[in-house]
Structure 1
Amino acid sequence: MGVAYSVGEVDHLYTFFVQWSPEIIYSKHTSKQDFLKVHPETLSVIDTLLNNSDPKNWKIVTVNPQNKRCPSVCSSADSESEDLLPVLINHSQILNQHHLEQLMNEIPARTQGYQWKLVYSTAEHGTSLRTLYRQMGDIDRPVLMVIKDSEKQVFGAFSSDPFRVSSFCYGTGETFLYSFSPEFQIFRWSGENSYFVRGFLDSLQMGGGGGPFGLWLDADLYRGSSYSCDTFCNRPLSLHHDFTVQDLEVWTFV
């Protein structure tokens, strides 16, 4: 028996299966707070769908994920690991396959499975923090900042909120810093404070707590610095505390 469902019904069924057998999507990269809370109305819709069909006619079908998975800009037909990479809508001056493999496993579950769209790039938009803010004026989704410094080191930050000018710190515990200098490391929220992100016209700050910032950038997105901070208990992201930006990109998930 074949059954066709609308997109909305499929979403309800997905919620049902998550609650029925959460180990299907639970992995070492997720945490307890990633589980969904199902509204009673959602359960009612699921019950209606299930009760309208004879369970004896239901069949579980295994589908080869390679036949359904979206290809990556870095993918190849004979490499399953490469095929798992996220799809980049735009070309990146910084990110390569190694970077994508590491980062895709660390971003929150709610951003996984989406395409990556380039929102701001110094190569395309010039070196201006004001322009960076302006490019994110209509965005309400998380963003990933990627920096390559003058010593070819790659590092950056994931922010639960798009970067903007504010009179107070913003963001959630999803926010983290990361570095590939010299090997990949991720620095998540320590719980010590909530100084995740604060934007000024003359600087962008991430992490703090009575001392230097975990990541700081000037108005021209040319000079930056990175120190250990209470928010993320991180080590300096670059080889040196102070660095010069060569390329900077900000991506979002669509």
Structure 2
Amino acid sequence: MSLRIVVTVKYVPDATGDRHFADDLTVDRDDVDGLLSELDEYAVEQALRIAEDRRDHGVDAEVTVLTVGPEDARDALRKALSMGADKAVHIEDEELHGTDAIGTSLVLAKAVEKAGYDLVISGMASTDGTMGVVPALLAERLGVPQVTLLSEVSVEDGAVTGRRDGDAASEQLQAPLPAVVSVTDRSGEARYPSFKGIMAAKKKPVESWDLSDLGIDADEVGLANAYTSVESAAERPARTAGTIVKDEGEGGRQLAGFLASQKFV
């Protein structure tokens, strides 16, 4: 008996950096540092916890991390491997440039099928696109149940069980394996890679696949074939100087007046 877990992760531009669009109105990734999407770290963490629990119960479990992206996206895989994942798959192909969520779900589905899986775990959304639709699209393409936006998840007796928290109530959900789940940032803090984990990650296998390995034609992906694209973009206006209130006995009144004028009070 074994459990094969695939975690889909994304290499995203650092949100603290100064991001720009390229001439084709895609994000200029050469102009900003990238990293593993923070929300995907929760997915990796939950995969590792499930794998550890299953091993404690005598079940072999393997965690594979999978990403689609440019050469630098390997940094996201290395982070996940250093956290404890067993192996990684990197989908890289020049024809993928500009692929939207629908095209990405196709690539992920083909890659997940090729890798072999019982459970796919994703973050609730990427920190750059923040669409949150890829897990559902992936489940549809794979033809398996989806259990999304979980703050608690476990696997037992051939089924995945989780809790989804809403504003007014919580739901207990369950689906038979194979299945796709997504987890929120309330599912549990992601572990920090240890020095031992970082060193061990260097020896873990990372496979590289392109579109031909997945049987996908170039006209199914890429910016020219995307269902969604950016039509126009403008630079964010520069910050203007703030209003300075000098307290010469009337500072409180001036501050209250400013807040009222901005409808803050």
For the aligned pair, the TM-score class normalised by the smaller chain equals under 0.3
Higher RCO, Cα 8 Å, sep 6+: 2
Higher helix fraction: Structure 1 or Structure 2? 2
Please report the TM-score for the alignment, with normalisation by the length of structure 1.
0.22
Pick the structure with greater CA Rg.
2
Higher strand fraction: Structure 1 or Structure 2? 2
Please report the TM-score for the alignment, with normalisation by the length of structure 2.
0.21
